Amino acid sequence: MKKQLVSAVAALGLVAVSTASLAATLDDVKKKGFVQCGVSTGLPGFSNPDDKGNWTGLDVDVCRAVAAATLGDASKVKYIPLNAKERFTALQSGEVDMLSRNTTWTLTRDGSLGLNFAGVNYYDGQGFMVSKELGVKSAKELDGAAVCIQAGTTTELNLADYFRELGMKYQPVVFDTSDQTVQGFEAGRCDVLTSDQSQLYALRIKLSKPDSAMVLPEVISKEPLGPVVRQGDDQWFNIVKWSMFALVTAEELGVTTSNVDQMKSSTNPNVQRLLGTEAGQGKNLGLDDTWAYNIVKQVGNYGEMFERNVGSGSALGISRGLNALWTKGGLQYAPPIR
Amino acid sequence: MSEFKPLPDQPPPPNTIGAVGWMRAHLFTGPINSVLTVAAAFLILFGISWFINWGLFDADFVGSTRDDCSGEGACWVFIIARLSQFIYGFFPEEQIWRINVMFFIFAACIIALMIEKTPKKGWISLFTLVGFPIISFYLLNGGIFGLEEVETHKWGGLTLTLVIAIVGIVASLPIGILLALGRRSDMPVIRSISIVYIEFWRGVPLITVLFMASVMLPLFMSAGAETDKLMRAMIGVIMFQSAYMAEVVRGGLQAIPKGQTEAAQALGLSYWKTMFLIILPQALKLMIPGIVNTFIALFKDTSLVLIIGLFDLLAIVQSALNDPNWLGFSVEGYIFVAFMFWIFCFGMSRYSQALERKLNTSHR
Instruction: Give one DSSP letter per residue of B263-294, joined into a string.
Output: HHHHTT--HHHIIIIIIHHHHHHHHHHHHHHH
Contact call for residues A42 and A48 (beta carbons, < 8 A): yes
The gap from C-alpha A242 to its chain's centroid, in whole angstroms, comes to 15
With CB atoms and an 8 Å threshold, state whether B328 touches A206.
yes
User: Is the CA virtual torsion B29, B34, B36, B38 positive or negative?
Assistant: positive
Q: Which of A75, A35, A36 is nearest to A56 (CA)?
A: A75
Please check whether residue A219 is in contact with residue A318, taking contact to mean a CB–CB distance below 8 angstroms: no
pLDDT at B242: 93
Q: What is the CATH classification number for the domain harbouring B308?
A: 1.10.3720.10
Predicted confidence (pLDDT) at residue A12 exceeds the cutoff of 50: no
Give the mean pLDDT of B337-363. Answer: 85
User: Chain A residue with minimal CA distance to B331?
Assistant: A179
Indicate the DSSP class of residue B130. Answer: I
Q: Write the class of the CATH domain A129-215.
A: alpha beta
Assess whether the region A2-123+223-328 and the region A129-215 belong to the same CATH fold: yes
* Residue B299 included in any domain: yes
Among B258, B261, B288, CA closest to B359: B288
pLDDT surpasses 80 at A18: no
In angstroms, the separation between the Cα of residue A44 and the nearest Cα of chain B is 5
**Mean pLDDT of the A128-141 span:** 88
Strand partners, B9: none
Domains of chain A, by residue range, sit at 2-123+223-328, 129-215
Q: How far apart are CA A139 and CA A157, in angstroms?
A: 16
State phi, psi for A264 to the nearest 5 degrees: -60, -30
Q: What percentage of chain A has pLDDT greater than the value 70?
A: 93
- pLDDT for the residue numbered B176: 93
Q: How confident is the model at residue B363 (pLDDT cuts 50, 70, 90)?
A: low
Residues A157, A161, A164, A166, CA torsion sign: negative
CATH topology of domain A2-123+223-328: D-Maltodextrin-Binding Protein; domain 2 (3.40.190)
The answer, yes or no, to whether residue A152 has pLDDT greater than 80, is no
A2-16, A207-221, A237-251, B345-359, range with the lowest pLDDT: A2-16
Query: What is chain A's mean pLDDT, rounded?
Result: 86
pLDDT at B237 over 70: yes
Nearest beta carbon to residue B323 from set A44, A83, A206: A44
Q: Tens digits of per-residue pLDDT, B151-164?
A: 777 888 898 998 89
Classify residue B282: in a domain, yes or no.
yes
Q: How many CB pairs under 8 A join A and B?
A: 109
- Chain B CB contacts of A49 under 8 Å are 85, 90, 316, 319-320, 323
d(CA A58, CA A70): 19
Residue-range definition of the domain harbouring residue B181: 157-313
Number of independent structural domains in chain B: 1
HSE-up of residue B209 (Cα within 13 Å, Cβ side): 22
In this complex, the residue of A21, A53, A314 whose CB is nearest that of residue B90 is A53
**B202: number of Cβ within 10 Å:** 12
Handedness of CA A222, A225, A230, A233 (dihedral sign): negative
CB pair distance less than 8 Å for B218 and A49: no
Q: What does the pLDDT read at residue A15? A: 44
What does the radius of gyration of chain A's CA atoms come to, in whole angstroms? 21
pLDDT score recorded for residue B29: 83
Give me the helices (H) in B115-131, please.
Answer: 121-126
* pLDDT at residue A259 greater than cutoff 80: yes
Q: How confident is the model at residue A11 (pLDDT cuts 50, 70, 90)?
A: very low
CA pseudo-torsion sign B71, B77, B81, B85? positive
Structural domain contains residue B276: yes
In this predicted structure, what is the pLDDT of residue B241? 92
With a cut of 80, say whether residue B335 has pLDDT above it.
yes
Report residue B25's pLDDT band, with 50, 70 and 90 as the boundaries: confident
Higher-confidence residue of B218 and B325: namely B325
* Beta carbons within 10 angstroms of residue B112's beta carbon: 16
Q: Is residue B228 part of a domain?
A: yes
Q: How many CB atoms lie within 10 A of CB A318?
A: 23
Asked whether residue B251 is domain-assigned, the answer is yes
Please state the rounded mean pLDDT for residues B319-343: 88
* Of A155-159, B53-57, B212-216, B318-322, minimum mean pLDDT range: B212-216
User: What residues of A are in contact with residue B328 (Cβ under 8 Å)?
Assistant: 205-207
> At residue B296, what are phi and psi to the nearest 5 degrees?
-65, -40
